[in-house]
């Protein structure tokens, strides 16, 4: 199964959980998409290998300024799971469901 589609996602940070949505469209080994996380939205380009995708987005945090979130996730059926590097704030898990 390809990673394509829209997913509702959640991940934890030191200041609480964040919810959002991510839409993926793979084109060969290129992963393109759009995201809406908290009050941030935009587009990204990453890489894809079958059901596994890697991408980064930069979000604005009120107290921290810009923070880059780097995702590494896999789709199994309708579930998305993996990890997210929270800039200088460590690593957390990301989980989601196909919308």
pLDDT digits (tens, 9 = 90+) for 70-97: 999 999 999 999 999 999 989 999 999 9
Q: Say how far apart CA 51 and CA 68 lie, in whole Å.
A: 23
Domain holding 85, by residue range, is: 5-98
pTM for this one? 0.92
What's the pLDDT tens digit per position in 15-52?
A: 889 999 999 999 999 999 999 998 899 999 999 998 99
Q: How many domains does the chain have?
A: 1
Q: Say how far apart CA 17 and CA 23 lie, in whole Å.
A: 20
- 28 to 3, 21, 79: CA distances (angstroms): 12, 22, 21
């Amino acid at each position: 199964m390809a990673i394509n589609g829209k997913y509702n996602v959640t991940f934890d940070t030191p200041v609480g959980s964040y919810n959002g949505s991510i839409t993926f469209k793979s084109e060969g080994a290129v992963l393109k998409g759009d995201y809406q996380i908290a009050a941030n939205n935009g587009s990204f380009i990453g890489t894809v290998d079958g059901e596994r995708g890697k991408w980064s987005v930069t979000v604005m945090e009120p107290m921290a300024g810009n923070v880059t979130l780097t995702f590494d996730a896999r789709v199994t059926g309708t579930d998305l799971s993996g990890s997210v590097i929270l800039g200088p704030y460590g690593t957390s898990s990301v989980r989601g469901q196909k919308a």
